[in-house]
Amino acid sequence: MARAATTSDAFNAIAEPRRRDILMLLRDGERAVAELAEDLEMTQPQTSKHLRVLREVGLVQVRGAGKQRLYGLDAEGLRPVHEWTGGFEQFWNGSFDRLDAYVQRLAQYPSTTDRGDTDD
Amino acid sequence: MARAATTSDAFNAIAEPRRRDILMLLRDGERAVAELAEDLEMTQPQTSKHLRVLREVGLVQVRGAGKQRLYGLDAEGLRPVHEWTGGFEQFWNGSFDRLDAYVQRLAQYPSTTDRGDTDD
DNA sequence: GCTTAAATTGCCTATATAGGCATATGATTG
DNA sequence: CAATCATATGCCTATATAGGCAATTTAAGC
């Protein structure tokens, strides 16, 4: 009855722009919380919370470094998202054209054409 | 103060599993609402609402076909997601190894090694 | 125009945050 | 152990849904 938990998977985790920003920053290497907070102009608790979500879905890792805790990227979790969206690649890279669409439509609605009801 | 609107962009739209299911079904061609509802075992209003979100972020298109409304895929909107995640591909396809990580860490924390504080 | 079929929209509830702030927890150093 | 720096949590509020159901709109057909 409510929205899906953002902590459930990578899809939900990266739905939040702030978290995407964090991940992008981490591409350049590990970062301490305070640094991330400063770069992204967020408060420290805010940053910590986002990092927690990212950690729970396995997109980042932490390691203690003195008083600091350095967060590092664990991008493997983004792979499913990349692959899922990749399953639609044919629809935007040109290998999919109107003929494909026509054939697909026939597969589902063969009667549509019988009634001369196609839109083109 | 609240969660980001799921209607804001594709990232949010596909965070919902149901909507991903809908998009996958639509890969095979256009579908009427009732059909989608049946295939996904959802109520029809529920399906309509998800379709509305998908339409608002431009991931699907509609066209009237008699009493029915056929929804079709407009996957172009998934491209940004695919490309964004693709920006992390190096981290899981093997071209990125511990040396890269080491170099990246140095870039951010050169002193870490000076203090003999690395984790390996 | 009325009836029927197919979808959409409105209304209500429960729930999961995101953000702000204060406070607790951890680790380091003297 | 006390003091301090760096993070993580707890608590509270506002908000955006997702789901259930009823009612309204849209489109055919008679």
A49 touches strand D (CB under 7 A): yes
Residue nearest to nucleotide C28 (CA to C1'): A67
* Cβ neighbours of residue B3 closer than 8 Å, sequence gap 6 or more: A3, A6
Q: Is the pLDDT of residue B94 over 70?
A: yes
Whether the CA torsion A24, A25, A27, A32 is positive or negative: it is negative
* pTM of the predicted structure, to 2 decimals: 0.83
By DSSP bridging, strand A68-73 and strand B31-32 are: unpaired
Q: In this predicted model, what pLDDT tens digit does every residue of B15-55 receive, in sequence order? A: 999 999 999 999 999 999 999 999 999 999 999 999 999 99
DSSP string covering B58-101: TSEEEEEETTEEEEEE-GGGGHHHHHHHHTTGGGTSSS--HHHH
Å separating the CA of residue A85 from the C1' of nucleotide C6: 31
In this complex, the residue of A14, A28, A85 whose CB is nearest that of residue B107 is: A28
Q: Residue A93 has what pLDDT?
A: 82
In this complex, the residue of B30, B81, B105 whose CB is nearest that of residue A85 is: B81
Through-space distance between the first and last CA atoms of chain B, rounded to whole angstroms: 41
Contact B41, B18 (CB under 8 A): no
Is A88 near chain B, with CB under 8 Å? Answer: yes
Give the number of residues written for chain A.
120
In chain A, the residue whose alpha carbon lies closest to the alpha carbon of B112 is: A65
Q: In this predicted model, what pLDDT tens digit does every residue of B44-91 receive, in sequence order? A: 999 999 999 999 999 999 999 999 999 999 999 999 999 999 999 999
